[in-house]
Structure 1
C-alpha cells in the first residue's frame, strides 16, 4: 500500500489512450499542432474568460517558476506561506527564473495565510531602496496541509495584495481536488476572486506529465512564450502535452478523478478517527490526510510495508502539538486509489493498534 503521494501512481486510461490515439501521422511541431492550438478556446470556455492565455508545460515547478518570472522583478519579493511548495520543494527554481527575486514565507495554521497576516506584513514593510519591495503573492490550493482556501478567503487576500500593488498567483497542483471540495466553477476560485495567474495541475490527478500556466491578464502573458522557450518547456512534439490536457478535461474526467480521490481520503480519515490514540491534525478537505498517531502504530504500519511520509507539525493550530511518543504522518489518496486499498490499510491499522 502506497499513500506517499498522488504523483506515485500512473496516468489514467483516457489520458494514455489519447496519447496513443494522436501518436500516428505528422503534425506541426513546437505547439503549432491543432491540439495545442485548441487548448486556448477550451480553457477560455472552461474559465469563462475571453482573454486568457494558456501555456502547457511538463512540470508543476516549471509552471510556478515561469508564472512568477513575469510577476516579480529580480529586486522584488514574492510572498507565500512558509511551508509552500515554491518555498521548500522547488530547489530555488522561482528565484532562478526571476533572476534573483526572493521568496518570503508567512506563517499560518493549516498552511494558510490569513488576510490580517498579509495586511500587517505589507503595511509594515519598509519603503526604501535598500529593501526588496513585495511584488507578488502566491497561494497554494490545496495548501501543504491539505486545506482549502474558500473563495471568500482568496478574494480577501487578493484585495489586500492588489491594494498594495501585488499580483496574485495560485499554485494549483491539486486544483481539481480543491475545486471539487468547494463545488464552485473554476472562474469563481480564480480570476473572479482576484487570481492573475494560475498553475493548473494535472499530473497529480491523472495526467502523465502535463501542467498549464493559465494567465488571466494579457499584459502578464506577453513574454511568457519566450520565457517558456528559454526554459526548455516548448516541446517539439507538443501534441502529446495537449493530448493529455484534452483527455483530462473531456467529459469532466478531471473532476471525477479528484472527487474519487477526495472520497478515498475521507474514508481513510473516518476510519482512522475511530482508532484509539489517533487524531487528525486538520480536517480532511481534499485528498490528503494528516493523522497524529502513537509511535508504535507508526512503526507497525511501516514494518507491514505501508508507504507514506512523516510530516512537520509547524502549521498546527496554536496550542496543538505532537506529543512525546506520537508521530505525525501524511497519507494521500489518488484518483486510482481503490476502496480495497483503503479498507486493507484500516484493517491493518486497527490490528496494529
Structure 2
C-alpha cells in the first residue's frame, strides 16, 4: 500500500490516450501543433497571457526558471527546507552557473516578508557581497503547508519593492489550489509571481512539467537556456500532449482534489500525532521507530521524517480502502 510519494502514482488514462493520439508525424522540437497550443491553454487557466515551455522534470522546471532570474554572481532567497536547497542535487547552482541560495526561516517551511528581510537586509551593497535577485517559494511547501493568496501577495509586494523576481515551485500547485478553492491566478500571477513550475508528474502525468512564465522576456531567455541545457526534446509533442491532457476538463484540479481527499481520510486516524496541519496530500506524523516498523509489517510504504516522524503522501489514484486501512492502523498504534 503505497504512501511514499505521488511520484509513484500511475499515469492517468487520459494522459495515456493523449500520448497515443500524439503518436503521429509532426514538426520536431517545439514546432508541433500541440506545443503551439500551450500558451493559449494556460492563458485560459490564469486569465492572462502566458508563455509556456515544457521540460521533462521538476528539477529542470525550477532551475531553468531560476536561471532566467538569477545571474551567476547573485542569489535567490528560499526556505532552508526548500526542495531547491535540499533535494535538487546542486542543480540550481549548475543551471545558474554558480548563483547562491540564501536560506530563510519560517513556520511550516513557508517564507514571510520578515523572514526574507532577515536574510537580505544585512547584505551590504557592493561587489564584495552576493546580491539577492529573486525569491523562490514552494506551493505547497515541503511540510505540506499552503500559501494563501494574501500571503503570496505580501511576498510579491515585497519582491516588487526590492526589485526581486518571484518564482514559485508548484510541483503540488494543483493540491494547493484544490485546498484553497481559489482561482489559480489569485495565488500566482495576480499575487506577483513571475514564473511558476506547474507540476504534472505528481498529479497523473508521466514525464512532463510546464514552466509558466508571466513575463515574456524571461520566457525568451528560457527558450535558449532549455536548448543549451539539453532539455529541448526532439519529439516535444509528447510532452505537450501530457500537459494539455491535464488541463482538459480541469483534470489537473480533479486529480488534486482526489489526492487531498485521500489524505483527509488518513488524517482521521492521526489524532494528536500530526506535526503539521493537513492542507494538501502530505501528512507528517509523530511516530517512533517501533511504530513505523509495525506499519511496514502491515504492508504500508512511506518515508521516515527525521528520527521520530513519518511522511505519508497520497495521490490521485490512492485507493480509498488503503487510506482507510492506514487510518485505522495508525489509530491502533
Same fold (TM over 0.5): yes
Q: Which moved more, 1:7-16 or 1:287-296?
A: 287-296
Equivalent runs, 1:1-353 vs 2, <5 Å: 1-23=1-23, 25-50=24-49, 52-273=50-271, 278-312=272-306, 327-351=308-332, 353=333
Give the gaps of 5 or more residues in structure 2.
none
> Does the 8 Å CA contact 1:71/1:135 hold for their aligned counterparts?
yes
Measured in 2, the distance between the counterparts of 1:218 and 1:346 equals: 47
Measured in 1, the distance between the counterparts of 2:216 and 2:30 equals: 19
Measured in 1, the distance between the counterparts of 2:156 and 2:235 equals: 37
> Does the 8 Å CA contact 1:75/1:100 hold for their aligned counterparts?
yes
TM-score w.r.t. the length of structure 1 is 0.92
Measured in 2, the distance between the counterparts of 1:349 and 1:82 equals: 30
Measured in 2, the distance between the counterparts of 1:193 and 1:92 equals: 29
TM-score w.r.t. the length of structure 2 is 0.97
Deviations, residues 100-149 of structure 1 (Å, cap 9, x unaligned): 10111111121111221112332222212111000000000000000001
| Aligned match of 1:322 | none
Measured in 1, the distance between the counterparts of 2:278 and 2:254 equals: 18
Q: Please give the secondary structure, in 1, of the residue aligned with 2:257.
A: helix
Measured in 1, the distance between the counterparts of 2:235 and 2:159 equals: 38
Measured in 2, the distance between the counterparts of 1:154 and 1:248 equals: 25
Give the RMSD, CA atoms, in angstroms.
1.3
> Does the 8 Å CA contact 2:103/2:119 hold for their aligned counterparts?
no
Deviations, residues 53-102 of structure 1 (Å, cap 9, x unaligned): 10011100000110000100100011100010000111111111111101
